Amino acid sequence: MADRRTLTLALFVCLCILLDGCLVHRRAITRDGKSSVQPLLTATEKELEDRIADEYRAVQDFNATVDMVPALGSAEKSKITEYKDVRAYILFRKPAFIRLIGLFPVVRNKAFDMVSNGIHFELYLPSKNLFITGLNNVTVESKNKMENWRPQHFLEALLVHPVEPNEKPILLNLTDEDNAAYILALVHSGPNGELRITRSIWVDRINLRIARLLTFDEAGNILTDARYSQWQLYDGVPFPKQIVLNRPRDEYSVVITMVKLDINKGVGDDKFVLEQPEGTQLRTLTEQGLSPAEPAPAAKPAPAAKPAPTKKTR
């Protein structure tokens, strides 16, 4: 009987060795394109909120030279048109001043110029001889997708706001073979007690930097999907080198890659002034849509030449 038990035990051990050596395959999970395993960092909800707030407070203003790859269209409509090699300049100053100037490829003529003070915006499209103006909170869409560009969309993506007093954060841990992120789902309570997610901020567990921002409308549809990568120090301040902004409802997206970035070196008031150029058509964005084009402003008459002074004769 003892011999039978010994034989059974020996067979069991041999089977375990065979299974471990031949049938079990171990594989390491690597992330972020690295060839080696990277340890994951941990943080509490409060620590994540503080990091997001610190990154926001660290930037007072910036002046950026960037390469942009705009794309018009949407994945849902299975048609996307990309415009490569657009050089652009982005200027920002708190609380909400922002200006973007884009140049066409090769010829480097101005493709667009837009500015916002946080309440009001102006958008100049030279190729259409069009100057659009309106309030930031007006969200009526145009059939021409370029006319849906808004400075505040870029501002919302470039600098992620910390958790607001009216937002209740809920922490999720999305860690699997493909993802390693903390998600702060920010819930807003409406006047009748209804709850909805206004934003979600994704934080990479490899470096605890912001990796993604999603904002939602009242129906839960995505308004902004911004993704951040290649975080670096610029003037001692951490900032992503690449930002991918996607606005699915407005049917456009933009890949922004930093070429040069100066942070907290001051941006003057004059940089956020955009006057309507002479000869352009003016359209105003209202809740009913874009107004009919108004006649171009007449050129200002040149000042009359002063008569030459006459010499006095004695």
Q: Residue ranges per domain, the chain?
A: 45-290
Q: Residue 108, SS3?
A: coil
Q: Are 194 and 211 in contact (CB under 8 A)?
A: no
166-206 pLDDT, tens per residue? 999 999 999 988 889 999 999 998 888 889 999 999 999 99
Overall average pLDDT of the 144-171 stretch: 89
Three-state DSSP state, 133: strand
- Predicted local distance difference test score (pLDDT) of residue 148: 77
d(C-alpha 59, C-alpha 264), whole Å: 6
Model confidence at 314: pLDDT above 50 = no
Work out the average pLDDT over 262-287.
93
pLDDT at 125 (0 to 100): 93
pLDDT at 246 over 70: yes
Q: Which pLDDT value is given to residue 76? A: 55
Asked which of 76-85, 153-162, 197-206 is least confident by mean pLDDT, the reply is: 76-85
Global confidence as pTM: 0.80
pLDDT of residue 82 exceeding 90, the answer is no
pLDDT of residue 69: 92
* Cβ neighbour number for residue 187 with a 10 Å cutoff: 15
Please report where in the chains the tokens 């946080």 appear, as a residue. 118
Query: Region 265-293: what's the mean pLDDT?
Result: 87
β-partners of residue 114 are 100, 123
For residue 261, list its beta bridge partners: 64
Residue range 26-33: average pLDDT? 64
Q: How far is CA 139 from CA 121, 135, 264, in A?
A: 12, 9, 31
* pLDDT value of residue 105: 81
Predicted pLDDT of residue 191: 80
Per-residue buried b or exposed e for 87-121, using 16+ beta carbons within 10 Å of the residue's own CB: bbbbbbbeebbbbbbbbbeeeeeebbbbbbbeeeb
The pair of three-digit structure tokens given for residue 144, joined into one six-digit string:
């021409």
Q: Residue 306 pLDDT > 70, yes or no? A: no
| Architecture (CATH level 2) of domain 45-290 | Clam (2.50)
